[in-house]
Amino acid sequence: MSTTERAERQDPLSFYLDKSGPAAWKAVGGLSTAAKEAARAAGLDDQLVELVNLRVSQINGCAYCLHVHTRRAIEVGLDDQRRGLVAAWEDADVYSEQEKAALALAEVVTTLPGTEDRDATQMLSHAVLTDEQYSAVQWLAITMNVTNRISILSHHPVRRAPQAPGL
C-alpha cells in the first residue's frame, strides 16, 4: 500500500465497524432480535432482558451500549434503584431469584472464568431457570457481548442527552 493510499484511509478512531460491514451488522441485528424473542418465549420479561444487557455492557465498559440500554430500561419500567444497583446485584435484595440467576449466568458468559467457577454458576443458574430461560439468557449475553465489541471498536460516541426543564 502506498503512502498516498494510507493517507486516504479513514482514521481508525472514526471508523465505524458496523457501517463498514452492513451485511454482518444486519446479521448481528437479527441475532439480537432472535435472542430477545427467545427470552420472551421463555417467559423472561423485558426488565430482566435489560438488566442482562446493562450488566454485560458494564463489565465490557461499553459506554454507548450502556447509554442505549439505560434508555431502554427506563422505557420498560426498570426503576432507578434497580438500574443503579445492577453493578452490585449480588449484594442488593431488590432482584428476584430468577433475575439473580440470569445476572450470574450473564457474567459467566461475559467473563468466561475458569472451569470450576463457570460450571458452578451454570449449575446454580440452571437450577432456577428453565431450559428455555437458561438458553435465552446465554444468547442475550452472547449477543450483547458482540454488540459491545462492535461499539467499542467503532468508538461510538455518547453525547449528553438534553435535560428536561427543571432537572
* Residue 53, C-alpha cell as written in the block: 444487557
Confidence band, pLDDT 50/70/90 cuts, at residue 45: very high
Closest Cα to residue 110, out of 55, 35, 62? 55
The residue-averaged pLDDT of 103-124 equals: 97
Domain 35-154 has CATH 1.10.10.60: no
pLDDT of residue 46: 98
pTM of the model: 0.89
The count of C-alpha atoms lying within 13 angstroms of the C-alpha of 36, restricted to the half-sphere facing its C-beta, is 13
pLDDT of residue 166: 55
pLDDT of residue 1: 54
Domain residue spans in the chain?
35-154
Closest Cα to residue 98, out of 44, 50, 140, 150? 44
Q: What is the dihedral angle through the alpha carbons of 65, 148, 94, 163, rounded to the nearest 10 degrees?
A: -10
* Identity at 121, one-letter amino acid code: T
Cβ pair 56, 106 in contact under 8 A: yes
Closest Cα to residue 65, out of 164, 147, 7? 147
Cell 441475532 belongs to which residue?
Answer: 31
Cβ pair 134, 126 in contact under 8 A: yes
Cell 461475559 belongs to which residue?
Answer: 110
Confidence band, pLDDT 50/70/90 cuts, at residue 103: very high
The residue-averaged pLDDT of 33-44 equals: 98
Number of neighbouring beta carbons within 10 Å of residue 66: 20
pLDDT of residue 107: 98
pLDDT digits (tens, 9 = 90+) for 117-161: 999 999 999 999 999 999 999 999 999 999 999 999 999 989 887
Cβ pair 71, 46 in contact under 8 A: no
pLDDT digits (tens, 9 = 90+) for 47-87: 999 999 999 999 999 999 999 999 999 999 999 999 999 99
* Residue 54, C-alpha cell as written in the block: 446493562
pLDDT of residue 161: 77
pLDDT of residue 102: 98
